[in-house]
């Protein structure tokens, strides 16, 4: 048995366009009742909004197929300090997740300063957050991505957090990919074991790194930010590299990953041009 954790931007879509063939792979998983989740480090949108966007692109999925870093952050904080308080630099998706987990949003004396993505960041917010941190609040980031590639590029959560870290001398705790907090929680959401989990992503520094660190099988799609030549810069490698998710078949991945003997035989066998094993 295998199940899948699937990045979205660069794997399922680019910008506002579905990557050709992505719908076929997802439909195969749906028709065969294979467990999967879409993972995103974008905390701006609520789970339902992300699902609606994917549905409008033509994917047959439900809200339950989406797992965001905002959800992971809210659940983590609810476990650490139930019914706590947070000062939030972020937008609707993060606020909704925190409220759903029993958190109150405050503008003074919070337990946590929580930072996510957003277009409304101001210096006044940074100043307020800094003074709260110096007053004893803990700094939590939904992720440490330095930029957001959507609609061009803009500073991401990691860039905002870096400024607060430098000003306060306090290091943030990050929950989103590649943190094991989010990726392990997503695996458990699907009731998978480590050996049954396959991470499909386009970014070495988040998707593949997180999968490697947790012992998941990893598939790098070259349809996003990473190019084949980039791999020489990394000390770790994905188990499999494909041009896009359209090159994947569930049966092929079962043969490769689900049985140690089958994986050895598959490693020795000639490969289709679109499927390139790169580990080892």
Angle at 277 between CA 249 and CA 234, to 5 degrees: 125
User: d(Cα 148, Cα 53) in Å, to the nearest integer?
Assistant: 18
Alpha-carbon span 74 to 76, nearest angstrom: 5
What secondary structure letter does DSSP report for 119?
S
**Annotation marks residue 7 as catalytic:** yes
Catalytic residue among 7, 23, 111, 207: 7
Give the separation between CA 270 and CA 272, rounded to whole angstroms.
7
Euclidean distance between CA atoms 276 and 271, whole angstroms: 7
Q: Are 265 and 237 in contact (CB under 8 A)?
A: no
Of 185, 205, 206, give the one whose Cα is nearest residue 197.
Answer: 185
Residues in the chain: 280
Catalytic residue selected from 9, 145, 207, 239: 9
Nearest-10 Cα torsion for 48, 50, 54, 55? 20
Question: Which residue shows structure tokens 């991401």?
Answer: 156
- CA torsion 198-41-227-268 (nearest 10°) is -10
* Residue 7 structure tokens: 């990045």
To the nearest 10 degrees (0 to 180), the angle between helices 92-100 and 69-80 is 40
Active site residues: 7, 9
């Amino acid at each position: 048995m295998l199940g899948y954790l699937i990045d979205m931007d660069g794997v399922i879509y680019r910008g506002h366009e579905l990557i050709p063939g992505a719908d076929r792979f997802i439909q195969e998983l749906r028709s065969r009742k294979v467990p999967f989740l879409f993972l995103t480090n974008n905390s701006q949108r609520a789970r339902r909004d992300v699902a609606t966007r994917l549905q409008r692109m033509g994917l047959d999925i439900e809200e339950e197929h989406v797992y965001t870093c905002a959800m992971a952050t809210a659940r983590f904080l609810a476990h650490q300090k139930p019914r706590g308080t947070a000062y939030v630099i972020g937008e609707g998706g993060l606020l909704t997740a925190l409220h759903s987990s029993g958190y109150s949003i405050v503008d003074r004396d919070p337990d946590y300063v929580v930072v996510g993505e957003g277009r409304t960041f101001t210096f006044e917010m940074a100043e307020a957050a800094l003074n709260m941190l110096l007053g004893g609040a803990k700094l939590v980031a939904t992720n440490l991505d330095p930029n957001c590639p959507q609609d061009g590029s803009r500073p991401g959560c990691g860039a905002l957090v870096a400024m607060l870290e430098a000003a306060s001398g306090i290091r943030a705790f990050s929950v989103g990919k590649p943190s094991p907090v989010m990726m392990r929680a997503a695996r458990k959401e699907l009731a998978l074991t480590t050996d049954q989990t396959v991470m499909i992503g386009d970014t070495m520094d988040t998707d593949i790194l997180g999968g490697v660190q947790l012992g998941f099988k990893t598939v790098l799609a070259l349809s996003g930010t990473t190019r084949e030549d980039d791999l020489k810069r990394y000390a770790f490698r994905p188990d499999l590299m494909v041009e896009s998710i359209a090159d994947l078949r569930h049966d092929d991945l079962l043969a490769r990953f689900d049985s140690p003997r089958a994986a050895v035989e598959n490693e020795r066998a000639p490969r289709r041009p679109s499927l390139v094993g790169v580990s080892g």
